Amino acid sequence: MVMVEKIVKTLIIVIFLTFAFLFSFGHVYTITDTADYKIYQVLSFKELTVSEVLSKAHLTTRPEDIVIPNLNESFDSGKITIMRSRPIEVTIDKQTKIYYTTKVVVSDFLESIGITLGDKDYISIPLNSELNSNKLIIKRYQEKEKIVKVSIPYKTIYVKDPMVASGMIYLRQDGENGVKELHYKEIYFGGDKIREDFIYEKITKMPITKTYVEGTANPPKEYVKSFDAIATAYSPTIGETDSNPWMTASGLRSSFGIVAVDPTVIPMGTLLYVEGYGYAIAGDTGGAIKGNRIDVFFYYPYEASRWGVRKVRVYILDGKWKFQGKLNY
């Protein structure tokens, strides 16, 4: 019995001396964790950083937690405080995300996570109030512009021309729809569109009127002479290899009423009337145009195809067109 008492006394002395040694020559760290307000102690023979102390205590932290002193700071002994962040469920326009924070006031919390509010936005807890809930709802007020493009139908007109043969109708200008923009202001709240207001409209492209020319001319009663010829229709947009197929040998731009001729048969500048076509000017030439052959102009290939090649009566009229500049033939 006496022996047992001696052993117990010896152990007590050893433990006491060990703790006395540690407290005298070691490093003692006290940790307060606000998650459960427990206190942890870590003893070490060497100086540790805060991070190392927490590791020895098997404590982990989140980036949003506040640790005092700083995690990388090393010190001899002392107190460490962990202020734990708490999760806040933030829903903005039906989109929910979890944030962790130690902030107490709503405005401070929003600032820390980079969220700003507009004057017409809704928030479930006032900005200056305490963040006393783990849920926060924000509804954004947004104004967006919506642009709707609408087609403007082109008009079709018929223009009578006394220089074009009666019964001849040709397309001078193809039609093209225009475009206008309708501008609307859309108002969204909480992710839902609650209103749409029309603001204004703007025409961005004017429609091009489709213009047909309807001839009223009849063969002339007075003329110098007449003869039969083969008339072939052409359009500058097909079957041409020139760099500028719209330019003629006379320098005139191709247009309805300009015909290509053999200058040895019909001199350039001669005023003509072509049966079924109308009044014209001998204003162009062509390698395949020999003798009593002429080419008559149409703006669009399908009209030239409709004319094709046909036998016509050509009337030579009194007078001559005066060209500007030198003829290119």
Cβ–Cβ < 8 Å for 100, 85? yes
Longest dimension (CA), the chain: 161
Which of the 8 DSSP states describes residue 134? S
Q: How far is CA 30 from CA 14, 25, 124, in A?
A: 24, 16, 40
Range of the domain at 99: 86-139
Rounding to the nearest 10 degrees, give the CA dihedral for residues 57, 60, 63, 64.
-90
For residue 18, is it within any domain?
no
Co-location of 227 and 258 in the same domain: yes
- Predicted confidence at residue 326, as pLDDT, reads 41
> Bridge-partner residues for 316, per DSSP?
225, 272
Co-location of 276 and 290 in the same domain: yes
- Predicted confidence at residue 241, as pLDDT, reads 45
For residue 7, is it within any domain?
no
Co-location of 231 and 289 in the same domain: yes
The Cα angle at residue 294 between residues 291 and 299, in degrees rounded to 5: 165
Residue closest to 257 by CA, chosen among 170, 129, 150, 135: 170
For residue 282, is it within any domain?
yes
- Predicted confidence at residue 34, as pLDDT, reads 86
Co-location of 135 and 111 in the same domain: yes
Q: How many domains does the chain have?
A: 4
CATH number at residue 94: 3.10.20.30
Rg, C-alpha atoms of the chain = 49
Co-location of 251 and 309 in the same domain: yes
Co-location of 273 and 314 in the same domain: yes
For residue 293, is it within any domain?
yes
Q: How far is CA 281 from the centre of its chain?
A: 51
Contacts of 118 (CB under 8 A, 6+ apart): 140, 141
The Cα angle at residue 108 between residues 59 and 142, in degrees rounded to 5: 125
Q: Tell me whether strands 169-173 and 225-234 are parallel, antiparallel or unpaired.
A: unpaired
In the numeric block, the tokens 């109708």 are attached to: 169
In the numeric block, the tokens 């039906």 are attached to: 94
Sequential pLDDT tens for the chain (329 residues) = 555 555 545 555 545 445 444 455 578 989 999 888 889 989 888 888 899 989 888 999 999 999 999 888 887 778 999 999 999 999 999 999 999 999 999 999 999 999 999 999 999 999 999 999 999 999 999 999 999 999 999 999 999 999 999 999 999 999 999 999 999 999 999 999 999 999 999 999 999 999 999 999 999 999 999 999 999 999 886 544 455 667 888 888 888 999 999 999 999 999 999 999 999 999 999 888 999 999 999 988 989 999 999 999 999 999 887 655 444 43
For residue 106, is it within any domain?
yes
Domain edge (last residue) among 62, 83, 104: 83
Domain edge (last residue) among 46, 62, 83: 83
CATH number at residue 170: 2.20.230.10
For residue 196, is it within any domain?
no
Peptide bond into 236 cis (omega under 30): no
> Bridge-partner residues for 80, per DSSP?
31
Dist CA 85 CA 125 (whole Å): 19
Dist CA 283 CA 267 (whole Å): 9
Name the strand (E) or helix (H) holding 20.
helix 2-25
Written as six digits, the tokens of 68 are: 């005092």
Under the phi-then-psi rule, with left for phi > 0, alpha for psi from -120 to 50, and beta for the rest, what region is 251?
A: left
What is the total residue count of the chain? Answer: 329
Sign of CA dihedral 267, 268, 270, 271: positive
Written as six digits, the tokens of 115 are: 């969220």
Co-location of 223 and 308 in the same domain: yes
Co-location of 233 and 302 in the same domain: yes
- Predicted confidence at residue 120, as pLDDT, reads 96
Co-location of 226 and 296 in the same domain: yes
- Predicted confidence at residue 144, as pLDDT, reads 96
Dist CA 81 CA 51 (whole Å): 12
Is the pTM higher than 0.85? The answer reads no
- Predicted confidence at residue 22, as pLDDT, reads 47
- Predicted confidence at residue 329, as pLDDT, reads 34
For residue 63, is it within any domain?
yes
- Predicted confidence at residue 328, as pLDDT, reads 40
The Cα angle at residue 253 between residues 248 and 256, in degrees rounded to 5: 100
Dist CA 175 CA 213 (whole Å): 13
Co-location of 122 and 207 in the same domain: no
Co-location of 53 and 75 in the same domain: yes
Co-location of 232 and 163 in the same domain: no
For residue 149, is it within any domain?
yes
Contacts of 139 (CB under 8 A, 6+ apart): 92, 93, 121, 122, 123, 189, 190, 191
